[in-house]
């Protein structure tokens, strides 16, 4: 399932990702610190939501109470609990 999430309190303006069960793939951030967010996206690709939550949850950026990584955790959790509606993905 493909999801789109609008993060709050961070520089990135959009997070797109796919969940196959509870495994995340194809994470893309719009805006934010491009190099760092590409690294985060590559490092967590193929991890479960539980693993991502353990590693990235509660990370703060500067004086902010959240970060782009923490917002990815929130997006995944929203997708898993049904409060973020996704679209079916097609696999070749």
pLDDT of residue 91: 56
CA neighbor of 72 nearest in space, from 1, 21, 30: 30
Average pLDDT over every residue of 8-30: 97
Distance from C-alpha of 10 to C-alpha of 19, rounded to nearest angstrom: 22
pLDDT of residue 90: 67
Q: Would the CA dihedral through 40, 12, 29, 66 be positive or negative?
A: positive
CA neighbor of 73 nearest in space, from 24, 12, 13, 34: 24
Q: To the nearest whole percent, how much of the chain has pLDDT over 70?
A: 97
Q: To the nearest whole percent, how much of the chain has pLDDT over 90?
A: 91
Inform me whether the pLDDT recorded for 92 exceeds 60.
no
Average pLDDT over every residue of 21-33: 96
pLDDT of residue 89: 74
Average pLDDT over every residue of 3-12: 96
């Amino acid at each position: 399932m493909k999801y789109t999430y609008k993060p709050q309190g961070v520089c990135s303006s959009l997070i797109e990702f796919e969940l196959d069960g509870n495994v995340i793939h194809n994470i893309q951030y719009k805006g934010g610190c491009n190099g760092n967010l590409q690294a985060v996206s590559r490092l967590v690709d193929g991890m479960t939501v539980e693993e991502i939550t353990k590693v990235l949850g509660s990370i703060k950026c500067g004086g902010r109470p959240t970060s782009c990584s923490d917002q990815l955790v929130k997006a995944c959790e929203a997708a898993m609990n049904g409060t973020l509606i996704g679209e079916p993905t097609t696999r070749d």
